[in-house]
Amino acid sequence: MRLSRGRNWLALPAVALFLGATDAQASGGAEMTPERIAEAIALGSRTDIKLIRLSAGRAECFLATPFLRVAMAAAAAKREYRTFTPADVRPR
């Protein structure tokens, strides 16, 4: 079943809002703590991190949480043979 173009445009923001609410609930709605930053750096150092991509027809949406942004930065540093520490994390 294919959604009409009008519904596609409504579906992406709804999904993005849902995932944003899910991330806030998973983190307790709190800021990135030093423990969460260390966890994100460890994850990024172990594996390559990708953005979450949602698409509906021609519309695309890429999602990134604060945790995911830190993990992606750590992964990028690893690919460039650099170290990445909590001191490298800047508030957004």
Chain Cα centroid distance, residue 31:
14
Residue-wise pLDDT tens digits, 28-73: 455 889 999 999 999 999 987 777 777 877 788 877 789 989 999 9
Tokens at 27, concatenated: 């983190």
pLDDT at 82 over 70: yes
Please name the residues in contact with 3: beta carbons below 8 A apart, sequence gap of 6 or more.
Answer: 11, 56, 57
The Cα 91–Cα 45 span in angstroms is 20
Confidence of residue 4 (pLDDT cuts 50, 70, 90): very low
Tokens at 7, concatenated: 């519904």
Three-state secondary structure call for residue 56: strand
Contact 89, 73 (CB under 8 A): yes
Least confident of 6-10, 60-64, 69-73, 88-92: 6-10
The Cα 28–Cα 82 span in angstroms is 31
Three-state secondary structure call for residue 91: coil
The domain segmentation of the chain, as residue ranges, is 5-88
Q: What is the model's pLDDT at position 25?
A: 45
Q: Tell me the pTM.
A: 0.61
Confidence of residue 1 (pLDDT cuts 50, 70, 90): very low
